[in-house]
Structure 1
Amino acid sequence: MFYQDVKYNIPVTLWLLETYPRQAPLVFVNPTRDMIITPRHPNVDGSGMVNSISLQQWIYPRSNLVELVQSLSLLFGQKPPLYSRPSVSVSVRPPPPPTPPPPFMNPIHTGGATMQLNPTSSPGPSPAQSPRLSLPYPPYQHSPPPPPHIRNDDPQEQYRRNAVNALTEKVRSDIKRLMQERHNEMESIFKTQQLLGQRSEQLKNGLRELNGEKAALENQLQATLTNTSILENWLKANDKGIAHVDIDDVFEPADTLSKQLLESQSSDLAIEDVLYAIDKGAQDLVVPVEAYLKHVRVLAREQFFHRATAQKIRQMQVSAQVDNMASRASYVS
């Protein structure tokens, strides 16, 4: 901070709570052994806890530690929360002259401040003068100077001060260790939060794809139901009298060769079924061997003629198709 155009460093401790950054941190002024908290400070209580507008109006994410420190620097620059502890011991200095010059006043330096003492020989009170720095007059040493005051600390006080310093260092070490542990925990939590965010996006994308597939399947189902309804209505309208129609008359061959081929193949397949039935009867000893051989010979001969006829008809159809294609090619050219 800057106080009267002079830069000062104020030791401050910031405690980050578990709810940080949504809740403002706790700020304490941490005076050293040579500093004292300013009594009745408007923003710092006796324990060193800081209370300012920046802390009271902390709003996440607009508020942050950098702006908080800047605001505290400006706030403490108006009225410092700490001041130097007055020195108890008196430094060794030259003894004052026993008889100062009567027309002047002798300055006495105590801790850097200058105080004016009025001479006893001058009658009447003299006007008070503000402290000012001045050089002492040459001493008039007519008598031996008094012995200098030597500071002697109490052993109990020294022991108490050492114990307090050791305890303070231990507490600071524990606080630093706890802060490092909490920092590591926060880093782990942030990484877990980032991983959960990525998985959440993946789940959202998968759910979006499933919803799209569901919509497409519903559209196909609706189209299938519509076509089924159309076919059912057509069957209801055109299914009259179909039971009295011969199934062989429904499908008609395209030409004479196709009709002969259909008859030959039908006979061939029918004979194949009869041979299978006779063979099954011979295995079951239902058909005698002599009857079995006789029927097989007759049916095999008949089946041979049907197969030969069918093969010849196929050759004739292929030749007809080739001639038809040649005639079309000549017509196009």
Structure 2
Amino acid sequence: MAGVPWTPAAAEVHQYLTAALSHGGAAALPYAWDARWMVHQHLAALSHAFPTLRPTAGHFTHNDGRRATLLRAEGTIPLATSSSACLPVSIWLLEAYPHRPPAVFLSFPPGTAVKPRHPLVDPSGSVSVPYLCSWIFPYYNLIDLVRSLAHLFSQDPPFAVSPIAIHDAKAGETAKVVEAVQRHLAAAGKSHTAEMEALLDTQTLLKRRKAEIARGLTGLEEEKELLEQQLQMLTMNCDVTASWVAKNHRRPTASLDGVFEPSDGHSRRTMECVAADMAAEDVMYALDEALREGCVPLDAYLKSVRTMSREQFFHRAFSAKLAPPQP
């Protein structure tokens, strides 16, 4: 038998079976330790091949009254008669499994009963098919057993349905449909209500943004008018400046040195001393920058600074003599 692909459902079944079969002591299942791996493999493979059959543990009562906690595969088996036809079944793995066949029982849906004198099922629901009667380990397994049950019961369904049960089933189906429609309508109503609330919120947001855009446009219009006024003023100033330039651009340019003339010889000497003092200050500043940038060696820098300081001292002293006495 091939291994079971590792899927989330298979992982869940594997986890459940591992936990159930690993118990010891009083809670241990009554399977031989050397057979537990085979029990695990058979149930996991069956659950993968028929997802409607899930392994569970339950209390089983033998014909002699003994009770035991055993594993079973419980669910439905699909039949070939219809895509929706299925057979509720419980497959119990007895203590001697897999060396002895499992016990198979049918579950009775409401309003149904086993057909009288059915060759494969007794009135209690116990199933006896050739596959179980000829069980030989290790050639037989649960998957082939379920396939045999599906084939046999598709040819001869075991249940007889009464007219009352059919009516009740139809009424139950109608009630299920009505309930499903009501649930759908309720869900649709909630969805539409939520959608309307979202649309109303969006409408409110759009109105608020419309007002903000209107205020922004008003502010831009006002700013545009202000800029146009400023542009007109600048244009007028440019025209005035252009007119002045047109009138005065041919006049001879006066020398900056001739703009300010000293009134007498004393003032001329004072102005020359101040100019020489400031020139010496500028030269020493330039020497500082040149030394900082490494353009002038230190000895040349010191020599030049001493020279300029001496000249600046003489100019300042001469300027102090020329200054009028303070009252």
TM range (shorter): 0.3 to 0.5
Higher strand share: 2
Q: Return the structure number with greater helix share.
A: 2
Q: TM-score with structure 2 length normalisation?
A: 0.36
Larger radius of gyration: 1
